[in-house]
Structure 1
Amino acid sequence: MNTNFKKDIDLGLSAPHKTLPSKYFYDKIGDALFVEIMNMPEYYLTEAEFDIFKNQNQELIKALQLEPSTFFELVELGAGDGTKTKQLLKALDDQNYNFEYVPIDISEHALLNLKSSVASELPNVKIRPKQGDYFNVLADLKKTEHPIIVLFLGSNIGNLPDSRAKEFIHKLNDNLKIGDRVLLGVDLIKSKDIVLPAYNDAQGITKRFNLNLLTRINTELGADFDLNSFEHKPEYTEEEGIARSFLVSTKNQTVTVRSLNKSFHFTEGEKIHTETSRKYNDRILEDILGQSSLKICDRLTDSKQLFADYVLEKKNR
């Protein structure tokens, strides 16, 4: 049994305002459902960032100040299947840039698949996958003299509350050298009619994705959640710029988690907060960057102005 999972579920359900960590969405079923989410018409994020990588790869190369003759390492945090990144890799390869691709992920399975697909589709690209913690790998790379370019895409930073996003940026900053650059993908603030359907699609895939977390707790911790007694409900206002997902109890009920030897009471309408997705603009990102040495030096957006990839550079304070 995953002891961290057990501990985190206990902490979350025991809190005055119940929460479940979004990182636990991703078991085998959750992984498959998220692939479905990324391909559904309402989920604009993946397509919007892919638009930038496919149609503006020369602009990306220029914004990152890459030189064909200067060796650099292209490091991707949470690389996944690398679909977007391969557009950039191909452009760099076609123009004979001297680089190595270093994807980092906690999933060994994802890295093996990525290495295989890059070898097949882009046989000239040097790839050196690294499994583990982002910052441990970056700390090793920091010792080298050549430039490091870090990709952190998909608005993954938006899953962190602002306070933790600031901590992430400061740790990232500490593991880079002066002159190293970061390509940070973020979802832009936009109207409710665009954002909410991305988290509440017509086919109910996102609902199943959220409810699968309760199924996982039932299976792994011996709980008795009745999935029919919880509704998926996202909330978003353009003024705040933060989308939140909740599972809402439809009645007064008690859920027992056998492995914890505990029961948790839910009142009708009580929420479990499962996910946060922050949306950004220049002002919010500047606040997140705070007193770090990472400074915005460029910004590219997709054709519909839904998503942005910011280029940051570590500078002398």
Structure 2
Amino acid sequence: MKTKTLVDPFAEDVTKGLTENPKSLPSKYFYDDRGSRIFMEIMAMPEYYPTGCEFEILLQQSPAIVNKLPFTVPFNIIEFGSGDGMKTKHLLKAFTEQGAPFTYIPIDISQEAIDALEANINQALPGIDMQPQTGDYFEALTGIDSEKPALFLFLGGNIGNYKDADAIALLERFHAQMKTGDMLLMGMDLQKNPRIIQKAYDDPHGVTRAFNMNLLTRINRELDADINLDQFDFYCDYNPQSGEVNSYLVSLKKQHVHSALLNTTFYFEKDELVWTELSKKYTLAGISALAQSAGFAVAHNFMDCRHYFTDSLWIK
């Protein structure tokens, strides 16, 4: 049988990731519709502090964030990876209460997440000027009025999922899309007691495990593979010196799995790791250095009461 020509990025990335050494799967593929639902469960767990910390910041400090913005004319609020909008609505409410003339443009790869966001935002702030976009961040930007000043949002600590070089590359792409004076509000998890971080990413409820295992379910479904999920497990490790949480799938036996769609067989050794995600934790000095490396300056760090997390406001 002739091997299928790979045109789908998911198929290409799975093929590359499961044939290289060490093996890996890109964390961006966590967020199909089911993965997005599981991540909402993660955010609701008491052990997963980032969500509560950022809720606190946006609930209590949104008026202060508004006051830090220099915009005097109608502007866009463009959110990358908006999810269901439950946190962002507090910020939007503060803007609305101050009569700020803005258009909210949430962008997410999951249509299900965008649907939930529209329902949540419309219920909380009926009549808001909102233009939701489903798809890739930068493709979605092409249809947006670029003449308006803009506040870009990248909340939830998502920047921590990128290796240093990749984080700088992404921030440089943000920078290239922004005009002088535009601002970026970015959620960033801070270094703290290692036990607190470990529990957040290796929860006793098995939700984070399910989030990772869903990658295998997605491969079975979309690439017509025969992965036996019982033959894999989940593991994560936090290194407090580097500030990195690394997550893995673990092959529990020597095995092979086959994708009919790809006409490809993947081989695993017993206890072999498949790296799935990085979750980086920052110091305030590290945040300033990262901002400068991408051409930004830190205007202010808004932190929760325990200083576990910051929404860091940067200016171009």
Given the two structures, how large is their TM-score scaled by the length of structure 1?
0.91
Which one of 91, 105, 120 corresponds to residue 88 of structure 1? Answer: 91
Q: Which amino acid aligns with 1:311?
A: L
Q: Which amino acid aligns with 1:282?
A: L
Aligned residue number for residue 56 of structure 1: 61
Given the alignment of the two structures, is residue 114 of structure 1 paired with residue 117 of structure 2, yes or no? Answer: yes
Query: What SS is found at the alignment partner of 1:120?
Result: helix
Aligned residue number for residue 153 of structure 2: 151
Q: Which amino acid aligns with 2:83?
A: G
CA contact 1:75–1:102 (8 Å) conserved in 2: yes
CA 1:180/1:197 → structure 2, altered by over 3 Å: closer, same or farther?
Answer: same
Q: Which amino acid aligns with 1:56?
A: Q
For 1:113 and 1:48, the matched residues in 2 are separated by: 22
Query: What SS is found at the alignment partner of 1:235?
Result: strand
Query: What SS is found at the alignment partner of 2:126?
Result: coil
CA contact 2:79–2:153 (8 Å) conserved in 1: yes
CA 1:142/1:173 → structure 2, altered by over 3 Å: closer, same or farther?
Answer: farther
Segments of structure 2 that go 5 or more residues without pairing to the other structure are 1-5
CA contact 1:142–1:176 (8 Å) conserved in 2: no
User: In the TM superposition, what is the alpha-carbon distance from 1:222 to its structure 2 partner?
Assistant: 2.8
Aligned residue number for residue 280 of structure 2: 278
Identity between Structure 1 and Structure 2 (%): 40
Given the alignment of the two structures, is residue 43 of structure 1 paired with residue 48 of structure 2, yes or no? Answer: yes
Aligned residue number for residue 212 of structure 1: 214
Q: CA offsets per residue over residues 204-241 of structure 1, 9 Å max, x none? A: 11111111211222232232222222221001111010
User: In the TM superposition, what is the alpha-carbon distance from 1:136 to its structure 2 partner?
Assistant: 4.0
CA contact 1:166–1:290 (8 Å) conserved in 2: no
CA contact 1:186–1:279 (8 Å) conserved in 2: yes
User: In the TM superposition, what is the alpha-carbon distance from 1:153 to its structure 2 partner?
Assistant: 0.4
Given the alignment of the two structures, is residue 129 of structure 1 paired with residue 124 of structure 2, yes or no? Answer: no
Aligned residue number for residue 202 of structure 1: 204
Aligned residue number for residue 33 of structure 1: 38
Which one of 52, 77, 86 corresponds to residue 74 of structure 1? Answer: 77
Query: What SS is found at the alignment partner of 1:127?
Result: coil
Q: Which amino acid aligns with 2:229?
A: L
Segments of structure 1 that go 5 or more residues without pairing to the other structure are none
CA contact 1:249–1:266 (8 Å) conserved in 2: yes
CA contact 2:246–2:275 (8 Å) conserved in 1: yes
User: In the TM superposition, what is the alpha-carbon distance from 1:199 to its structure 2 partner?
Assistant: 1.4
Q: CA offsets per residue over residues 120-165 of structure 1, 9 Å max, x none? A: 3212421122334323444555741x42111110011111111111
CA contact 1:89–1:125 (8 Å) conserved in 2: no
User: In the TM superposition, what is the alpha-carbon distance from 1:114 to its structure 2 partner?
Assistant: 2.3
Q: Which amino acid aligns with 1:159?
A: N
For 1:106 and 1:231, the matched residues in 2 are separated by: 27
Given the alignment of the two structures, is residue 254 of structure 1 paired with residue 256 of structure 2, yes or no? Answer: yes
Aligned residue number for residue 10 of structure 1: 15
Given the two structures, how large is their TM-score scaled by the length of structure 2?
0.91
For 1:253 and 1:136, the matched residues in 2 are separated by: 39
Q: Which amino acid aligns with 1:133?
A: D
CA RMSD in angstroms comes to 2.0
User: In the TM superposition, what is the alpha-carbon distance from 1:181 to its structure 2 partner?
Assistant: 0.7
For 1:130 and 1:261, the matched residues in 2 are separated by: 35
User: In the TM superposition, what is the alpha-carbon distance from 1:31 to its structure 2 partner?
Assistant: 2.1
CA 1:108/1:232 → structure 2, altered by over 3 Å: closer, same or farther?
Answer: closer
Aligned residue number for residue 26 of structure 2: 21
User: In the TM superposition, what is the alpha-carbon distance from 1:252 to its structure 2 partner?
Assistant: 2.1
For 2:261 and 2:206, the matched residues in 1 are separated by: 30
CA 1:116/1:304 → structure 2, altered by over 3 Å: closer, same or farther?
Answer: same
Q: CA offsets per residue over residues 247-274 of structure 1, 9 Å max, x none? A: 1122222222332323222222210001
